[in-house]
């Protein structure tokens, strides 16, 4: 499989939610993403995996216009990000904010509506109700008035998800949504993602846990500065591709991923 | 009573205005971890004031204020450049701008003083905060700036909130976060510049940060925090002015700062929920409860070993268990005696019926938790005691009942000892 | 000794002492704590003055050190309570303490000799004339003795505790593991800062002592990674600043202390621009070169990949490549010209092709980025 033309299954010629071409991003002089070509299908749960420093978060940031690439461009549903902002929802890493900030869970989720509230105006009651319903969808509506530092890690993650839901997008970009959350939250997040897929939305998530890629996602992007492979999990999440991605640096935990693959190839599907 | 003179009126007005403006922009500076940027900007203003004077030959507020503002903006830019493009970290960058800009200001100031021998040139008041020299013109400018600040913050509140909380998210939504940051920084600069005369260079940072820090202790909502900061700042300013006028040789700037520092101290200690005093009292009460429960439990366990609870246990026997002193045990026993959970015969103690029931519940929690750890988490049975010692005080009745159900209503703990039944009520 | 010599010596001693402790402040990101201490020591000095009724050096130094410890303690307590951030703690503690000092001066000392102005910005010009008189004997400039003594103290601290300071500054966890308390070291260092600050008051005053603490050390930091070199450089730059400042002040007829600190700032700006490793100019140049190389490599890589997958003329037509990359025409032309000059690509009709030399260069690049190219 050549890395520059991953097989994609386009659903009847519709515009792909995300296209990346020749994307190269460097911080100062260090290349972080190199010549990445990617076309992602609609309506899937897509995992981006790769070792640390492989540029996974950077890829999301480049799509969102938060970092400027040296070369290449990004198209979202056929147009530039600046024209498709309202179609994209973003869930950053939990560490990216100071949770001691004086604000409530509901307040954070309402921020997801700011894009539609516009300049100089206040969020209306309609926006607040939307925010509350998003909190309900992630199962923590009773924590709406709670200050965010009083929330557990899993609850904080759900607040971030609810905020993205409040953006009412078609494409969701998530940076490690499963990192450091308890088992219950993990299930809740997974249920939410599956609901989104059921509604025809596309989810692209940077994922750190190789063991669960097969269970949670149906499409995978293997990244190590360059695109190693991209495609349905069944055909792309293979030994060889993992070796190429991690370059022999598969850790002990990843051996569980190997075990999963071995199990699967022996015919015992999970 | 103090005479409400013209000077006092001006100092009060100036101090209150600064307090309100400072509280508002200071709240955002504090939350963005830029508390000390205000310090740097205050020091950086001096060369601007001097240059403005040298170039225009006038001491009129607009030109001096403009000079100070431009210098402040230059200082902020310099910090940005240094941090972004060199290995110098933010604290050192602030320190460099603070001291070097001020030094340049000193050079110019002393030069000016040489040029106008005899006349202190009135530029000194920008350094030391001579609030008593505030005239109506100065107050006019302060009011204008204050109105602009309040209006801007009111209009851009959600944008500033985005900037302070999650800059990247704001950018992804399409807001021009760089521009918003510039606006906020400019607000900070003008507040600093216009307030210099009231509190002086060194104390300016307190005028910005102390009321905001105090306000933070009382609320978890940004809007309320900003409002409170303004209120505390304004009131401290007025109070400081009055106190300074009523006591001899008490300069207004430092007095105002001390008043707001007292407000901060009070807030830190006594604010509901966050207040340190309440936290300390809560902790003490929890510790005391733990100690009492342990005493009950110890007596129960002793009785279990003796196969009877009718004997009184001596103080020395209890002391041996946890290495506690007699005084300590007596202190723990006191409330238990009053609640009739224990009865005493001289120095010896014994569980009452009610005390027995209480002690049983503690032991029950301990043993259920040990069983949970060994069964569910598969920890070895000699590793679970320490954890259970802590959890037995923390588990609620509901949690324990759920635990028991989950474990299938067991009869014995990992060490073969019986698990007492739930309290029947 | 002429006054000029005395003044420069005093300035040099101050600069050197400040540079020695300031280096550690910069490395440990505590520059602003140093600034806070320089203001917060005021009440300590005033109380010492009021208690002893004189401006004797020792009580003032003790008072200042005590306040230095108090400041560090308060900031630490507030920060650890988690009710305030660290920079907020600094920003509320030192103004409060400074206000106490100002009020004490104003109420109890204004009629006497403790001049607030002087404390704030010193008057080094008087140094030669304020002589130290013990038992009727004149020992020369008092400032010289005080600043010289401070320098010796700081030198002793740095020399004796060099290893410990080094580890504690670069790796506090290791320091704790090895066995000496980073907290104790922290307080020792801050006490040294307090003493240095007091020792410098007479010369440059509180506000400008911060310049001498932070700026030469930061400048040195732009040039070296090694602690010993950084210390030497900081001291050297500090002394040079004080000398240069003095001469400028003589010429321009202005505050000597201000000129000294401004000179330090001037050296910093020079270092910022010119440092071979960290300077803005060097960085801009290196970044530009590396970006050029990156661009060139991208083109080479693209030609290789698409030359194999799609035979020319399709993918390697110059316009189509430029379009794919999203580069401006001038940028594209510039990169291609450089590649042609190096003989790595050649034009064949309207196409761009990799030369043999180009293909070899690509292989030799050997960066990990290419390792995953199957």
Residue-wise pLDDT tens digits, C176-203: 777 777 788 889 999 999 989 888 876 7
The better pLDDT of the pair C171, A179 is held by: A179
Neighbours of B303 (CB within 10 A): 18
Least confident range from A119-133, B40-54, B214-228, C288-302: namely C288-302
Count of the separate structural domains present in chain C: 2
Residue C372 resides in a domain: no
**Beta carbons of A33 and A58 less than 8 angstroms apart:** yes
Alpha carbons B333 and B343: distance in angstroms, whole number = 9
User: H or E element: which one contains C84?
Assistant: none
In the CATH scheme, what is the code of domain B6-274? 1.10.3470.10
What residue has token string 């949690």?
B399
pLDDT per position as a tens digit, B413-424: 888 888 888 876
CA C67 to chain centre: 24
Superfamily designation of domain A18-265: P-loop containing nucleotide triphosphate hydrolases (3.40.50.300)
Which residue has 């002087």 as its token pair? C118
Domain presence at residue C374: no
Chain C contact present for B198, CB below 8 A:
no
Q: Does A183 touch chain B (CB under 8 A)?
A: no
| Contact yes or no for C373/A224 (Cβ under 8 A) | no
Q: B30 CB near a chain C CB, below 8 Å?
A: yes
Q: Locate the domains of chain B by residue range.
A: 6-274, 278-351, 356-407
What is the gyration radius of the CA atoms in chain B, in angstroms?
A: 32
Q: Quick check: helix, strand or coil at residue C134?
A: strand
- Name the residue of chain B whose CA is nearest to C24's CA: B92
Burial grade of C285 (CB within 10 A; 0-12, 13-18, 19 or more): exposed
Q: What is the mean pLDDT of residues B106-133?
A: 72
Chain B residue with CA closest to C106: the answer is B249
3-state secondary structure chain A: CCCCCCCCCCCCCCCCCEEEEEEEEEECCEEEEEEEEEEECCCCEEEEECCCCCCHHHHHHHHCCCCCCCEEEEEECCECHHHHHHHEEEECCHHHCCCCCCCEHHHHHHHCCHHHHCCCCCCCHHHHHHHHHHHHHCCCHHHCCCEHHHCCHHHHHHHHHHHHHHCCCCEEEEECCCCCCCHHHHHHHHHHHHHHHHCCCEEEEECCCHHHHHHHCCEEEEEECEEEEEEEHHHHCCHHHHHHHHCCCCCCCHHHHHHHHHHHHCCCCC
> Which chain C residues touch A5 with a CB distance below 8 Å?
309
Question: Residue C286: pLDDT band by 50, 70, 90 thresholds?
Answer: confident
Residue A182 has pLDDT above 70, yes or no: yes
* Residue C208 to residue B103: CA distance in whole angstroms: 7
Q: What is the pLDDT of residues B326-338, one digit of tens each?
A: 888 888 888 888 8
Q: Is C100 on the interface with B (CB under 8 A)?
A: yes
pLDDT at C23 over 90: yes
Task: Give pLDDT tens digits for B198-233.
Answer: 998 889 999 999 999 999 999 999 999 999 999 999
Show which subunits contact B, needing at least 3 CB pairs below 8 angstroms: A, C
- Residues A233-270 as b/e (b if ≥16 CB within 10 A, e otherwise) read beebbbeebbebbbeeebeeebeebeebbeebeeeeee
Looking at the DSSP bridge assignments, the partners of residue B101 are none
Best C309, C369, C370 residue to mutate vs chain A (most A CBs within 10 Å): C369
**Cβ-count burial of B74 within 10 angstroms (0-12 exposed, 13-18 middle, 19+ buried)?**
middle
Q: Per-residue pLDDT for A7 more than 50?
A: no
- Chain B residue set in contact with A, beta carbons under 8 Å: 31, 155-156, 158-159, 161-162, 164-166, 168-175, 216, 219-222, 225
What fold, for B278-351?
Arc Repressor Mutant, subunit A (1.10.10)
Is 50 exceeded by the pLDDT of residue C369?
A: no
CB contact under 8 A, A226 and C295: no
Tell which wins on pLDDT, C138 or C248: C248
Q: Does A169 touch chain B (CB under 8 A)?
A: no
- Report C:269-298 residues touching A (Cβ under 8 A): 286-287, 290-291, 294-295, 298
In this model, does residue A60 exceed pLDDT 70?
yes
| Model confidence at C357: pLDDT above 80 | yes
Residues C299 and C170 in one domain: no
Q: With respect to CATH, is domain B356-407 assigned 1.10.60? A: yes
Helix, coil or strand: residue B63: helix
Question: Do residues C140 and C103 both lie within one domain?
Answer: yes
**Region A121-125: what's the mean pLDDT?**
90
**Touching check for C314 and chain A: CB below 8 Å?**
no
3-state secondary structure of B412: strand
Q: How many CB atoms lie within 10 A of CB A31?
A: 21
> Distance (Å) from the C-alpha of residue A194 to the closest C-alpha of chain C?
32
Token representation of residue C347: 């034009």
Instruction: Examine the fold and report which residue of C218, C251, C275 is the final residue of a domain before the chain moves on.
Output: C275
Instruction: Select, from the ranges A120-124, B110-114, B228-232, the one with the highest average predicted confidence (pLDDT).
Output: B228-232
Distance from CA of B155 to the nearest CA of A (A): 5
Domain boundary among C241, C256, C275: C275
Q: Do B106 and C258 touch (CB under 8 A)?
A: yes
Q: Which residue has the tokens 């300035």?
A: C11
pLDDT surpasses 90 at A43: yes
A102 contacts on B by Cβ (under 8 Å): 31, 216, 219-222, 225
Residue B130 in 3-state DSSP? coil
Q: Quick one: pLDDT at residue A170?
A: 95
Q: Rounded CA gap, C64 and C46, in Å?
A: 9
Q: Does C299 have pLDDT greater than 90?
A: no
pLDDT at B28 over 60: yes
Nearest residue on chain C to B88, alpha-carbon basis? C218
Q: Give the pLDDT of residue B160.
A: 97
Checking if the pLDDT of C373 tops 80, the result is: no
> What is the pLDDT, as a whole number, of residue A4?
37
What is the rounded average pLDDT for all residues in chain A? 86
CATH number of the domain encompassing residue C361: 1.10.10.10
Q: What kind and span of H or E run contains C307?
A: helix C280-309
Pairwise CB contact (< 8 Å): A2 & C309: yes
Are the beta carbons of C298 and A24 separated by less than 8 Å?
Answer: yes
Q: Measured between alpha carbons, how far is A158 from B327 in angstroms, rounded to an integer?
A: 50
- Indicate whether A254 pLDDT > 70: no
The single residue listed with the structure tokens 């490549």 is C321
pLDDT of residue C60: 83
Q: Is the pLDDT of residue B146 over 70?
A: yes
Mean of pLDDT values over C49-62: 81
Q: Global pTM? A: 0.86
Other beta carbons within 10 Å of C25? 28
- Full residue range of the structural domain in which residue C135 is found: 3-275
Average pLDDT (B306-332) is 85
Residue C363: inside a domain: yes
CA closest to B112 among chain C residues: C254
Kindly tell me if the per-residue pLDDT of C173 is higher than 90.
no
**Tokens coding C141:** 């400039």
Do C172 and C221 have their domain in common? yes
Q: Return the SS3 of B174.
A: coil
Q: Does A98 touch chain B (CB under 8 A)?
A: yes
Residue of C nearest to A20 (CA): C324
Give the one of C294, C369, C372 whose C-beta lies nearest to A70's C-beta: C294
Last residue of a domain, one of C219, C248, C275: C275
Q: What are phi and psi of B35, to 5 degrees?
A: -55, -40
Q: What is the CATH number of the domain that holds C76?
A: 1.10.3470.10
8 Å CB contact of C301 and A35: yes
Residues C67 and C82 in one domain: yes
pLDDT of residue B217: 96
Chains that touch C (3 or more CB pairs under 8 A): A, B
pLDDT at A267: 56
Nearest CA of chain C to the CA of B21: how many Å? 17
Average predicted confidence (pLDDT) for chain B: 89
Average pLDDT over residues B235-261: 94
For C327, which residue in chain A has the nearest alpha carbon? A71
Alpha-carbon gap, residue A209 to A189, rounded angstroms: 15
A39 exposure class (CB count in 10 Å sphere: 0-12, 13-18, 19+): middle
Residue C346's H or E segment, with its range, is strand C345-348
CA dihedral B320, B321, B327, B330 (to 10 degrees): -130
**Mapping DSSP to helix (H, G, I), strand (E, B) and coil, where does residue B201 land?**
helix
pLDDT tops 80 at residue A253: no
């Amino acid at each position: 499989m050549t890395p520059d033309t991953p097989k994609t299954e386009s659903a009847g010629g519709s515009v792909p939610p995300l296209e990346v071409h020749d994307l190269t991003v460097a911080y100062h002089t260090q290349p972080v993403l190199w010549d990445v070509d990617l076309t992602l299908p609609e309506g899937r749960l897509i995992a981006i995996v790769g070792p640390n420093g492989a540029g996974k978060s950077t890829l999301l940031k480049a799509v969102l216009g938060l970092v400027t690439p040296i070369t290449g461009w990004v198209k979202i549903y056929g147009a530039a990000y600046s024209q498709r902002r309202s179609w994209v929802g973003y869930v950053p890493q939990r560490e990216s904010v100071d949770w001691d900030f004086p604000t409530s869970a509901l307040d954070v989720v309402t921020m997801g509506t700011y894009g539609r509230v516009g300049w100089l105006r206040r969020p209306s009651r309609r926006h607040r109700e939307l925010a509350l319903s998003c909190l309900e969808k992630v199962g923590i509506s009773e924590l709406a008035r709670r200050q965010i530092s009083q929330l557990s890690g899993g609850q904080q993650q759900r607040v971030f998800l609810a905020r993205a839901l409040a953006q009412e997008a078609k494409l969701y970009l998530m940076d490690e949504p499963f990192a450091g959350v308890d088992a219950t939250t993990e299930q809740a997040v997974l249920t939410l993602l599956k609901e989104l897929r059921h509604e025809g939305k596309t989810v692209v998530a940077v994922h750190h846990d190789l063991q669960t890629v097969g269970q949670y996602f149906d499409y995978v992007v293997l990244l190590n500065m360059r695109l190693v492979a991209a495609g349905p999990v069944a055909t792309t999440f293979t030994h060889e591709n993992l070796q190429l991605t991690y370059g022999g640096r598969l850790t002990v935990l990843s051996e569980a991923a190997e075990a999963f693959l071995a199990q699967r190839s022996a015919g015992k599907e999970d | 009573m103090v005479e409400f003179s013209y000077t006092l009126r001006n100092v009060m007005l100036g101090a209150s205005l600064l307090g309100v403006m400072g509280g508002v922009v200071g709240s955002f500076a504090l939350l963005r971890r830029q508390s000390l940027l205000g310090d740097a900007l205050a020091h950086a203003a001096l060369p601007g004031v001097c240059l403005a004077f040298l170039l225009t030959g006038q001491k009129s507020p607009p030109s001096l204020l403009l000079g100070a503002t431009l210098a402040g903006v230059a200082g902020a830019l310099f910090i940005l450049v240094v941090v972004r493009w060199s290995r110098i970290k933010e604290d050192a960058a602030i320190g460099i701008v603070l001291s070097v800009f001020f030094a340049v200001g000193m050079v110019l100031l002393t030069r000016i003083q040489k040029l106008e021998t005899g006349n202190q040139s009135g530029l000194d008041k920008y350094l030391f905060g001579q609030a008593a020299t505030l005239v109506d013109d100065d107050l006019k400018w302060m009011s204008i700036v204050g109105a602009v600040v309040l209006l801007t913050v009111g209009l851009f509140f959600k944008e500033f909130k985005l900037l302070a909380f999650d800059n990247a998210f704001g950018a992804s939504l399409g807001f021009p976060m760089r521009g918003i940051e510039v606006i906020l920084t400019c607000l900070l600069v003008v507040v600093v510049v216009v307030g210099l005369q009231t509190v002086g260079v060194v104390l300016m940072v307190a005028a910005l940060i102390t009321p905001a820090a105090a306000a933070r202790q009382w609320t978890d909502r940004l809007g309320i925090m900003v409002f409170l900061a303004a209120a505390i700042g304004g009131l401290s300013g007025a109070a400081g002015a009055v106190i300074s006028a009523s006591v001899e040789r008490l300069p207004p700037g430092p007095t105002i700062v001390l008043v707001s520092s007292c407000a901060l101290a009070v807030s830190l200690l006594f604010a509901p929920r966050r207040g340190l005093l309440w936290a300390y009292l809560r902790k003490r009460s929890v510790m005391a409860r733990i100690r009492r429960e342990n005493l009950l439990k110890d007596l129960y366990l002793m009785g279990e070993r003796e196969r009877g609870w009718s004997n009184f246990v001596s103080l020395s026997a209890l002391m041996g268990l946890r290495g506690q002193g007699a005084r300590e045990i007596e202190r723990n026993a006191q409330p238990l005696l009053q609640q009739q959970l224990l009865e005493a015969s001289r120095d010896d103690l014994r569980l009452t019926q009610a005390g027995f029931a209480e002690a049983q519940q503690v032991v029950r929690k301990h043993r259920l938790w040990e069983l949970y750890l060994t069964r569910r988490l598969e920890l070895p049975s000699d590793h679970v005691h320490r954890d259970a010692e802590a959890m037995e005080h923390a588990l609620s009745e509901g949690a324990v009942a759920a635990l028991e159900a989950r474990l299938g209503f067991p009869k014995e703990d990992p060490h073969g000892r019986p698990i007492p039944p739930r309290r029947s009520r | 000794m002429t006054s000029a010599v005395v003044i420069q010596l005093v300035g040099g001693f101050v600069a050197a002492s400040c540079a020695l402790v300031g280096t550690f402040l910069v490395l440990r990101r505590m520059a602003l704590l140093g600034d806070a201490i320089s203001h917060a020591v005021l009440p300590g000095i005033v109380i010492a003055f009021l208690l002893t009724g004189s401006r004797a050096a020792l009580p003032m130094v003790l008072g200042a050190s005590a306040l230095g410890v108090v400041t560090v303690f308060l900031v630490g307590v507030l920060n650890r309570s988690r009710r305030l951030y660290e920079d907020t703690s600094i920003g509320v503690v030192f103004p409060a303490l400074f206000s106490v000092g100002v009020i004490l001066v104003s109420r109890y000392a204004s009629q006497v000799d403790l001049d607030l102005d002087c404390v704030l910005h010193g008057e080094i010009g008087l140094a030669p004339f304020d002589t130290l008189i013990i038992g009727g004997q004149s020992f020369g400039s008092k400032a010289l003795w005080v600043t010289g003594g401070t320098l010796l103290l700081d030198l002793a601290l740095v020399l004796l505790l060099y290893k410990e300071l080094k580890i504690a500054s670069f790796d506090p966890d290791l320091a704790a593991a090895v066995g000496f308390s980073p907290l104790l070291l922290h307080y020792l260092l801050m006490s040294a800062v307090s003493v240095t600050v007091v020792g410098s008051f007479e010369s440059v005053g509180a506000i400008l002592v911060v310049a001498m603490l932070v700026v030469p050390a930061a400048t040195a930091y732009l040039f070296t990674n090694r602690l010993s070199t950084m210390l030497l450089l900081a001291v050297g730059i500090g002394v040079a600043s004080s000398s240069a400042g003095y001469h400028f002040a003589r010429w321009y007829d202005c505050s000597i202390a201000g000129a000294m600190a401004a000179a330090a700032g001037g050296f910093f700006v020079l270092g910022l621009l010119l440092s071979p490793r960290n300077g803005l100019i060097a960085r801009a140049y290196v970044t530009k070169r590396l970006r050029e190389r990156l661009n060139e490599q991208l083109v080479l890589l693209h030609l290789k990949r698409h030359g194999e997958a799609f035979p020319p003329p399709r993918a390697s037509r110059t316009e189509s490549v430029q379009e794919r990359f999203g580069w401006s025409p001038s940028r594209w032309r510039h990169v291609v010209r450089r590649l042609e000059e190096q003989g790595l690509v050649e034009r064949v009709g309207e196409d761009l092709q990799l030369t043999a030399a180009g293909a070899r260069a690509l292989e030799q690049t050997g960066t990990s980025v290419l390792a995953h190219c199957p």
